Amino acid sequence: MEPPCLALLVFFGTLLVLPQASVGSTRHYTFNVAMQNVTRLGSTRAIPTVNGKFPGPKIVTRDGDRVVVKVINNVKDNVTIHWHGVRQLRTGWYDGPAYVTQCPIRTGRSFVYNFTVTGQRGTLFWHAHVSWMRATLYGPIVIFPKHGVPYPFPKPDKEVPIIFGEWFNADPEVIIAQALQTGAGPNVSDAFTINGLPGPLYNFSSKDTFKLKVQPGKLYMLRLINAALNDELFFSIANHTLTVVDVDAAYVKPFDTEVVLITPGQTTNVLLRANPHPGCPPATHLMLARPYSTANPGTFDNTTAAGVLEYAPPGHIKTHPLFRPTLPPINDTAFPANFSARLRSLASAEYPANVPREVDRAFFFTVGLGTNPCPANQTCQGPNGTKFAASINNVSFDMPATALLQARYYDRVAGVYTADLPFEPLEPFNYTGTPPNNTNVSNGTKVVVLRYNASVQVVMQDTSILGAESHPLHLHGFDFFVVGQGNGNYDPAKHPAGFNLLDPVQRNTVAVPAGGWVAIRFFADNPG
Ligand SMILES: *[C@@H]1O[C@H](CO)[C@@H](O)[C@H](O)[C@H]1NC(C)=O
Ligand SMILES: *[C@@H]1O[C@H](CO)[C@@H](O)[C@H](O)[C@H]1NC(C)=O
Ligand SMILES: *[C@@H]1O[C@H](CO)[C@@H](O)[C@H](O)[C@H]1NC(C)=O
Ligand SMILES: *[C@@H]1O[C@H](CO)[C@@H](O)[C@H](O)[C@H]1NC(C)=O
Ligand SMILES: *[C@@H]1O[C@H](CO)[C@@H](O)[C@H](O)[C@H]1NC(C)=O
Ligand SMILES: *[C@@H]1O[C@H](CO)[C@@H](O)[C@H](O)[C@H]1NC(C)=O
Ligand SMILES: *[C@@H]1O[C@H](CO)[C@@H](O)[C@H](O)[C@H]1NC(C)=O
Ligand SMILES: *[C@@H]1O[C@H](CO)[C@@H](O)[C@H](O)[C@H]1NC(C)=O
Ligand SMILES: *[C@@H]1O[C@H](CO)[C@@H](O)[C@H](O)[C@H]1NC(C)=O
Ligand SMILES: *[C@@H]1O[C@H](CO)[C@@H](O)[C@H](O)[C@H]1NC(C)=O
Ligand SMILES: *[C@@H]1O[C@H](CO)[C@@H](O)[C@H](O)[C@H]1NC(C)=O
Ligand SMILES: *[C@@H]1O[C@H](CO)[C@@H](O)[C@H](O)[C@H]1NC(C)=O
């Protein structure tokens, strides 16, 4: 086993004595990471898989259970697995990000992840957390409530995970290595997938179509997961209304929608009543997933994955009419604002929303793209011959060679990280206005240190430096409440008055709106 190795957030303070946990079961899994030949879009490629499956196996657990997964690395690249959204209460070293909470698992080695799922119900997912290995190494985590505890909505007759991904004809490891070398944006994917399958709207792909067979009158719960590397996706099923009941393994006040928007790293449970147009002849209904993006055409994959909703009795698909849902325009910036405004916590006696009302520590983070200069002896393909660099408050993250948590645990942080990430931009500017002339960012391995149980507010502000774009942000080890969001620049004198502190949605991943801002709050209750 590798040594226990920290998170970007380091907490100091007394540890709480946990109340005696109710005894859950332990779920054991073995993940053998190995290459497997897979054919998509007419060509065959050997890809890293778990247990030969693509997408990988489903982890099924209950709120309160322990999950133990032995991961064996039988591929040439380093691997770690991240249990995306699992709180990892005081088990930060099992969270998975390479060089943050652990050293990677080398070829031929194994590592046992061992954690409990506490106070979460719904859907999460696991994925590799080194480089771009997650392009093919991912799978669902299904979390049922504790034994005997019902859902706060009608019990579905059947539950089906639907995991979206991005398929690359080239090796994703080569793509990201090239992008880091040249400084250009990485090559875009060749297809989106639904449960690993692109569907009939791509060449050579009609037999690789996800089919969901349903019976009229039955209630289905689709556990939607966006495991795509880069793109936010619209999802819709022709002639069917979806009822959103849970996001990121936390219940929400149910609401109906024709279209779901799901950001990479997010999950959404929706109910689907199989009951189309009674009295009409049987039909086949397409389900579609395609991006929401404000980027320039050509800089992102704008193709469409399709699956099929089939009514029994099957066998007459070709003769049935085929219905296609209508998706919003790719750059429909009003949709994400309206959709997120509808997401509300249950905030009931059983499922309270423990929203921090006071703020001990407030952060204002600019989030966006800048540039790094091109090394003298190289030519670069980023803006004006520079290299693209993503940054927070103008600091681009340098991956350390020692895991942050390990450095902290052994009290050897010197040379690994510094605790001086600016809590606000050093030089304020019009974040969504005319870009500054100097687009250079600095580099560093900088962290924020928080006191145990501090209440924290983070406002994330998109920048238009190299084009306003929506950026998904995921917080490890915590759920947070999305208390506000808006267009343009955040105004600390004006906007907090409009924050929702009653029933804001609780989640682990949020999109910083293109040319806008989002405010989150959480309690720093998970040292690590
Ligand atoms: C994939 O197929 C190629 C060509 O048939 C073969 O040489 C290779 O061993 C296969 N790889 C795996 C991992 O099965
Ligand atoms: C793989 O991980 C080990 C640490 O576990 C590290 O020493 C090595 O440099 C990594 N290899 C690559 C190619 O990143
Ligand atoms: C998992 O962790 C628990 C609590 O520390 C421990 O009792 C158990 O032995 C561990 N299981 C494995 C397989 O390591
Ligand atoms: C990425 O795209 C560029 C330009 O089209 C191409 O030259 C390069 O080979 C591609 N990289 C990979 C890994 O396919
Ligand atoms: C999709 O991207 C291609 C270029 O890659 C572009 O020609 C086309 O107009 C785009 N379509 C939409 C709907 O943006
Ligand atoms: C099903 O949806 C299609 C297109 O979205 C629409 O044209 C058709 O009228 C709908 N059928 C019914 C019965 O609602
Ligand atoms: C979306 O793109 C279309 C076509 O490129 C453009 O005409 C329209 O103004 C864009 N809408 C928004 C909201 O940016
Ligand atoms: C470029 O220069 C750096 C040092 O500045 C050196 O490490 C690297 O090997 C050089 N690369 C090439 C391709 O010459
Ligand atoms: C690139 O250079 C041109 C001319 O010097 C300048 O107008 C433009 O703002 C620069 N763009 C970026 C992204 O730096
Ligand atoms: C920031 O830039 C935007 C877009 O150009 C403009 O509408 C706004 O007035 C500017 N804000 C300030 C405070 O200058
Ligand atoms: C940016 O560059 C332009 C043209 O060179 C110049 O007019 C302007 O004053 C510069 N802006 C700032 C903030 O330096
Ligand atoms: C930041 O790091 C990148 C790549 O690691 C390097 O090319 C660049 O020169 C660095 N920039 C600064 C300002 O140190």
Burial 418-449 (b: 16+ CB within 10 A, else e): eeebbeebeeeeebbeebeeebebbebbbbbe
Rounded CA Rg of the chain: 23
Beta bridge partners of 396: 443
pLDDT digit string (tens) for 201-221?
999 999 999 999 999 899 999
Question: Residue 373: its pLDDT value, please?
Answer: 97
**Closest protein CA for atom 6 of ligand 4:** 187
The domain over range 158-341 is classified in CATH as 3.30.1490.20: no
Phi, psi of 171 (to 5 degrees): -70, 120
Q: How many CB atoms lie within 10 A of CB 148?
A: 5
Atom of ligand 12 at shortest distance to CA of 442?
A: 13
Q: 423 C-alpha to center of ligand 9: Å?
A: 29
Indicate if ligand 10 lies below 6 Å from the C-beta of 428. Answer: no
What's domain 361-523's architecture? Sandwich (2.60)
Question: Residue 10: its pLDDT value, please?
Answer: 41
- Inter-residue contact 52 to 36 (CB < 8 Å): yes
Instruction: Give the rounded percent of residues in the chain with a pLDDT score beyond 70.
Output: 93
Mean pLDDT score of the chain: 93
Q: 365 C-alpha to center of ligand 12: Å?
A: 21
6: pLDDT strictly greater than 60 = no
Mean pLDDT of 83-92: 98
The helix/strand/coil state of 319 is helix
**Closest protein CA for atom 12 of ligand 8:** 377
Q: 104 C-alpha to center of ligand 2: Å?
A: 6
Q: 513 C-alpha to center of ligand 10: Å?
A: 17
Mean pLDDT of 271-295: 86
Q: How many CB atoms lie within 10 A of CB 246?
A: 25
Calculate the CA dihedral of residues 79, 299, 228, 292 and round it to 10 degrees.
Answer: 160
Question: Residue 318: its pLDDT value, please?
Answer: 59
Half-sphere exposure (Cβ direction) of 128: Cα atoms closer than 13 Å: 30
Domain residue ranges in the chain: 26-144, 158-341, 361-523
Q: 469 C-alpha to center of ligand 10: Å?
A: 17
pLDDT digit string (tens) for 111-125?
999 999 999 999 999
What's domain 26-144's architecture? Sandwich (2.60)
Round to whole Å and give the CA distance between 128 and 78.
10
**Closest protein CA for atom 5 of ligand 9:** 384
- Inter-residue contact 135 to 172 (CB < 8 Å): yes
Contacts of 126 (CB under 8 A, 6+ apart): 56, 59, 81, 82, 83, 84, 138, 139, 141
9: pLDDT strictly greater than 60 = no
Q: How many CB atoms lie within 10 A of CB 187?
A: 16
Would you state the structure tokens that stand for residue 264, as one six-digit string? Answer: 């990479």
- Inter-residue contact 96 to 82 (CB < 8 Å): yes
197: pLDDT strictly greater than 50 = yes
Q: How many CB atoms lie within 10 A of CB 458?
A: 20
Amino acid at 449: V
Please tell me if the domain spanning 158-341 has the same topology as the one spanning 361-523: yes
Round to whole Å and give the CA distance between 394 and 391.
5
Q: 29 C-alpha to center of ligand 1: Å?
A: 26
Q: Ligand 4: which of 178, 181, 381 to mutate, judged by most atoms within 8 Å of the beta carbon? A: 178
Calculate the CA dihedral of residues 123, 58, 264, 35 and round it to 10 degrees.
Answer: 170
146: pLDDT strictly greater than 50 = yes
Atom of ligand 6 at shortest distance to CA of 325?
A: 5
Atom of ligand 5 at shortest distance to CA of 298?
A: 5
pLDDT digit string (tens) for 407-455?
999 999 999 999 999 999 999 999 999 999 999 999 999 999 999 999 9
Round to whole Å and give the CA distance between 415 and 156.
53
First to last CA, the chain: 19
- Inter-residue contact 354 to 348 (CB < 8 Å): no
Round to whole Å and give the CA distance between 269 and 159.
10
Contacts of 437 (CB under 8 A, 6+ apart): none
Query: Exposed, middle or buried by CB within 10 Å (0-12, 13-18, 19+), for 108?
Result: exposed
Indicate if ligand 2 lies below 6 Å from the C-beta of 78. Answer: yes
395: pLDDT strictly greater than 50 = yes
Mean pLDDT of 308-336: 83
